[in-house]
């Protein structure tokens, strides 16, 4: 589920009583739990984007490997959303928000990896600009029952030159596909890795990220050699 | 319902407009903040500064990414970057830029990520 972690900080609020007249600061801000604070030695961060349709398990995968409970950041569709609001069925044109869930893995004392889950549908592509700039790569999380979304996403990533791997989240009721059949269905080049995963499992989700990193490593070595 | 703040709808554009003084992200872009730029406060907030600025400075006593700030403040990233632009201009926080983007990621960086993931 993509929107089940809307209030991860609930219950941890270090409540200060709102002061009358400070209307805009009426809600006390709960920060990270002390065990979730990054060490001061953390100096650099990298990001990987998990992209897929609604309900495909992006947040589940992020949550499985994240050292913090997934957090949610929202972006407002303003001018960028004009003409898009109608399809969302939202009445107020200026206040549409889109949520992105994300998690974090401290790789060592200095380096931090952030994982962002973002919806794959075309109407959310306006989110992609800031998101993919500087991203190491992407995981396209696929539900074999709904391949169309993945098809658009893959085309868009190829256009942007973002390296990606494809992970098939194994839903119990989803039809089993042969990997090579899927490669053909998704029109994927032979070098792009496809892996099966169970996004609920830490090891399985970790292995998906590992597949992406080995692929990126391969690309880096290949480009050095050429 | 109680308190003046309750009249503001949480995500209303009016509220966000007031917080940023009507500015959009353009000014803050001079600092080129990324979602994963780590922000660290240089001191505790002094009394009297705008509540949102103070909240950011309190949150950033240890490094925190722009995305995490947005999540904890429950404000859109575009609003947070405007507020951070103010704090950066005043030298109240510092930004630790993310690893710069390249055509292809650096090999040693990828190796560091692989090594880190192996520890999971």
Mean pLDDT, consecutive 10-residue stretches, chain A (226 aa), reads 40 38 56 92 94 91 96 72 44 63 96 94 83 93 87 92 94 77 92 95 97 96 84
Q: Is B26 on the interface with A (CB under 8 A)?
A: no
Q: What is the mean pLDDT of residues B87-102?
A: 85
Per-residue pLDDT tens over the stretch B28-75: 455 679 999 999 999 999 999 999 999 999 999 999 999 999 999 999
Q: Are A110 and A41 in contact (CB under 8 A)?
A: yes
Decide if B58 is inside a domain. yes
Decide if B2 is inside a domain. no
Decide if B88 is inside a domain. yes
Q: What ipTM score was computed for the predicted complex, to two decimals?
A: 0.82
Q: Is A94 on the interface with B (CB under 8 A)?
A: yes
CB pairs under 8 A between A and B: 191
Residue B101's pLDDT band (boundaries 50, 70, 90)? low
Decide if B26 is inside a domain. yes
Q: Is B22 on the interface with A (CB under 8 A)?
A: no
Q: Is B25 on the interface with A (CB under 8 A)?
A: no
How many Cα atoms are found within 13 Å in the side-chain-facing hemisphere of B96?
Answer: 21
pLDDT at B18: 75
pLDDT at A54: 84
How many Cα atoms are found within 13 Å in the side-chain-facing hemisphere of B92?
Answer: 18
All residues of chain B having their beta carbon less than 8 Å from the beta carbon of residue A20 are 3-4
Across the interface, of B67, B72, B111, the residue whose CB is closest to A217 is B111
Across the interface, of A32, A65, A73, the residue whose CB is closest to B120 is A65
Edge to edge, the sheet with strand A71-77 lists A71-77, A96-106, A111-119, A44-52, A137-142, A164-169, A194-197
> How far is B27 from chain A, CA to nearest CA, in Å?
16
Ranges of beta strands (E only) in chain A are 44-52, 71-77, 96-106, 111-119, 137-142, 164-169, 194-197
Q: Give the H/E segment covering residue B96.
A: strand B93-96
Across the interface, of B67, B73, B112, the residue whose CB is closest to A107 is B112
Count of domains in chain B? 1
Alpha helix (H) ranges present in A89-165? Answer: 128-132, 147-160
> How far is A156 from chain B, CA to nearest CA, in Å?
17
pLDDT at A5: 41
pLDDT at A75: 78
| Domains of chain A in sequence order | 40-225 (3.40.50.300)
Domain of B70, in residue numbers: 8-118
Cβ distance A74 to B76 less than 8 Å, yes or no, reads yes
pLDDT at A39: 94
Measured from the Cβ of residue B45, the count of other Cβ atoms closer than 10 Å reads 18
Q: Is A13 on the interface with B (CB under 8 A)?
A: no
Q: Which chain A residue shows the shortest CA-CA distance from B33?
A: A130
Q: Is A216 on the interface with B (CB under 8 A)?
A: yes
> How far is A30 from chain B, CA to nearest CA, in Å?
6
Decide if B72 is inside a domain. yes
Decide if B1 is inside a domain. no
Decide if B94 is inside a domain. yes
Residue B3's pLDDT band (boundaries 50, 70, 90)? very low
Cβ distance A95 to B78 less than 8 Å, yes or no, reads no
């Amino acid at each position: 589920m993509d929107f089940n972690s809307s209030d991860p900080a609930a219950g941890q609020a270090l409540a200060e009583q709102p002061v009358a007249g400070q209307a805009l600061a009426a809600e006390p801000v709960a920060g990270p739990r002390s065990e979730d604070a990054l060490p001061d030695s953390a100096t650099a961060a990298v990001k990987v984007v998990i992209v897929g349709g609604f309900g495909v398990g992006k947040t589940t995968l992020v949550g499985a490997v994240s050292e913090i409970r997934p957090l949610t950041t929202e972006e407002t569709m303003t001018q960028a959303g004009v003409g898009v609001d109608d399809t969302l069925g939202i009445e107020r044109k200026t206040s549409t928000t889109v949520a992105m869930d994300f998690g974090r893995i401290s790789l060592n004392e200095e380096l931090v990896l952030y994982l962002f889950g973002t919806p794959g549908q075309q109407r959310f592509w306006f989110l992609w600009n800031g998101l993919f700039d500087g991203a190491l790569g992407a995981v396209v999380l696929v539900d074999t029952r709904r391949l169309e979304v993945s098809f658009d996403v893959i085309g868009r990533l190829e256009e942007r030159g973002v390296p990606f791997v494809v992970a098939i989240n194994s839903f119990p009721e989803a039809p089993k596909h042969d990997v090579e059949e899927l490669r053909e269905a998704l029109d994927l080049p032979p070098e792009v890795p496809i892996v099966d995963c169970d996004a609920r499992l830490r090891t399985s989700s970790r292995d998906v990220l590992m597949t992406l990193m080995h692929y990126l490593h391969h690309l880096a070595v290949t480009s050095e050699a050429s | 319902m109680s308190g003046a703040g309750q009249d503001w709808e949480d995500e209303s554009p009016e509220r966000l407009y007031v917080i940023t003084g009507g500015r959009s992200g353009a000014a803050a872009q001079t600092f080129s903040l990324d979602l994963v730029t780590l922000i660290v406060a240089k001191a505790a907030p002094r009394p009297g500064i705008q509540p949102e600025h103070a909240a950011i400075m309190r949150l950033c006593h240890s490094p925190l990414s722009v995305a995490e700030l947005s999540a904890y403040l429950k404000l859109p990233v575009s609003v947070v970057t405007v507020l951070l632009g103010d704090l950066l201009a005043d030298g109240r926080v510092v930004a630790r830029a993310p690893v710069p983007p390249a055509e292809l990621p650096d090999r040693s960086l990828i190796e560091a990520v692989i090594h880190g993931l192996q520890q999971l």
